[in-house]
Amino acid sequence: MEEAAKEGIYLCFYPFLSAASKYVEESGITLDNLIHTGTFRYARSRGKERIIEAIKNGKVRKQVIISNAQAETELLSYPFARILVSCIGDERLVRRYALSEAKAAYEKLLEDSSTGSSSDTAIIYEMSEEFGIRVDFLRLPGEREQVQMPFVDYLRFTANLRDKRWKLVNRGLEKGMIKLRKPEFVRIIQEAMYERIKKDLPLDVPVDICEAINGYTGDIKKELEEKRKKFGDAGFGFDFESGSGFLVKDPSCFPPCISYILSNLKEGVNVPHGARFAVTAFLLNVGLTEDEIIEIYKNSPDFDADRTRYQVEHIAGDKGGVRYTAPACATMRTYGNCIGNDEVCEKVSHPLSYYKLKLKLKRKKEQQGKSSQKEKDEKI
């Protein structure tokens, strides 16, 4: 009984594992129980809470679990959250939710694998087996413990990691094996966790079930709407309130290259360093604050708050006194960040010039529209 309780507490932090699904299945709790009975109302509330935490914070909060009953509630809240996300059917929410769950599990795994006990290696092995990653541990005299994995597995799980340190050319390759520090390997496992969580979402949930839980989905939709009202149509993490003059934050006037990078960030794509620099400098130049820009990066799979703040502050000139300007169009093309021209691109040579001209054209069009409407009203 005690072992079962420990297992439940352990699995509630990693509810996407095969063992967690088996644990729930063997408990005898049915989908009908989870959806309709009062016994599981706390699990349903926690499931909704998981998604709202993902929307607000970009990470599902780690609960303090001290009893098996709490562990069961936390564990059951996960499948209910997946049902809620599926009933809402918003692809952007699916990605944000999956990434938020993966980040929370990554931090827990990092904690569990760094206790200094013999169980550290065991939990890494368990996760590796779960995701089909072959792994060996190397402990050389006078060196930190390293993890060794086949380069084919390495490539499989680092395809979306854009930081230079993950490139194969920057890794030691010996007899088909890649060596990594343990925290780096845990970061790779985060990618595997994200793929597992996102898999099959949105689920094909029957209409009657979605109708039965529309009170929960309604609350989540309200939160989504509030987020979008605050951050605009560009997606989670963008605050484009109206200003004046050149500092009007109007995403509809952004050049195609900047809009494309922002779209990738919104979707959780790990964009290259050059693109990050370009979009950060551009947004600083048009008047966004450092905190607003840091918020944009929260969707990134490798988001690190301290590191991101340092880089944004550096580009803003807080660290070295030099405030950077967004790269010119020629530089954007050189680094592969130009995605193609439109009619305004043909008239300018810099993203900021594009933005300024597009704003001017938009205002002119709006003014012409007002004048035209006024003339119609006068005739009437």
Q: Which of 228, 278, 236, 274 is nearest to 256 (CA)?
A: 278
Q: Say if residues 254 and 355 touch (Cβ distance below 8 Å).
A: yes
Asked if pLDDT for residue 244 goes beyond 80, the answer is no
The backbone torsions φ and ψ at residue 289, rounded to the nearest 5 degrees and listed phi first, read: -80, 165
Asked if pLDDT for residue 156 goes beyond 70, the answer is yes
Q: How confident is the model at residue 60 (pLDDT cuts 50, 70, 90)?
A: very high
Q: Say if residues 76 and 35 touch (Cβ distance below 8 Å).
A: no
Tell me: the pLDDT tens digits for 270-297?
888 999 999 999 998 888 888 888 988 8
Asked if pLDDT for residue 1 goes beyond 50, the answer is no
d(CA 68, CA 10): 10
pLDDT reported for residue 142 = 62
d(CA 262, CA 237): 10
Mean pLDDT in the chain? Answer: 85
pLDDT reported for residue 351 = 93
Tell me: the pLDDT tens digits for 330-357?
999 998 999 888 889 989 999 999 998 9
pLDDT reported for residue 159 = 81
Q: Say if residues 84 and 216 touch (Cβ distance below 8 Å).
A: yes
Instruction: Label residues 176-188 b or e (16+ Cβ within 10 Å = b).
Output: ebbbbebebbbbb
Q: Is the dihedral of CA 143, 144, 150, 155 positive or negative?
A: negative
Asked if pLDDT for residue 237 goes beyond 50, the answer is no
Asked if pLDDT for residue 253 goes beyond 60, the answer is yes
Instruction: Break the chain into its structural domains and give their ranges.
Output: 1-89+202-226, 112-201, 232-364
Asked if pLDDT for residue 242 goes beyond 50, the answer is no
Asked if pLDDT for residue 249 goes beyond 60, the answer is yes
d(CA 267, CA 275): 15
According to DSSP, the residues that pair with 228 across neighbouring strands are none
Tell me the pairing of strands 136-138 and 173-174: unpaired
Q: How confident is the model at residue 140 (pLDDT cuts 50, 70, 90)?
A: low
pLDDT reported for residue 373 = 63
Percent of the chain with pLDDT over 90: 47
Q: Say if residues 366 and 252 touch (Cβ distance below 8 Å).
A: no
Tell me, letter by letter, the H, E, C secondary structure of 182-209.
HHHHHHHHHHHHHHHHHCCCCCCCCHHH
Torsion angle (degrees, nearest 10) of CA 164, 170, 171, 175: 140
Asked if pLDDT for residue 87 goes beyond 70, the answer is yes
314-322 average pLDDT score:
76
pLDDT reported for residue 235 = 40
3-state secondary structure of 300: coil
d(CA 6, CA 18): 17
d(CA 19, CA 127): 11
Q: Which of 91-95, 180-184, 255-259, 376-380 has the highest mean pLDDT?
A: 255-259
State both tokens at 289.
Answer: 């604050």
Q: Say if residues 23 and 8 touch (Cβ distance below 8 Å).
A: yes
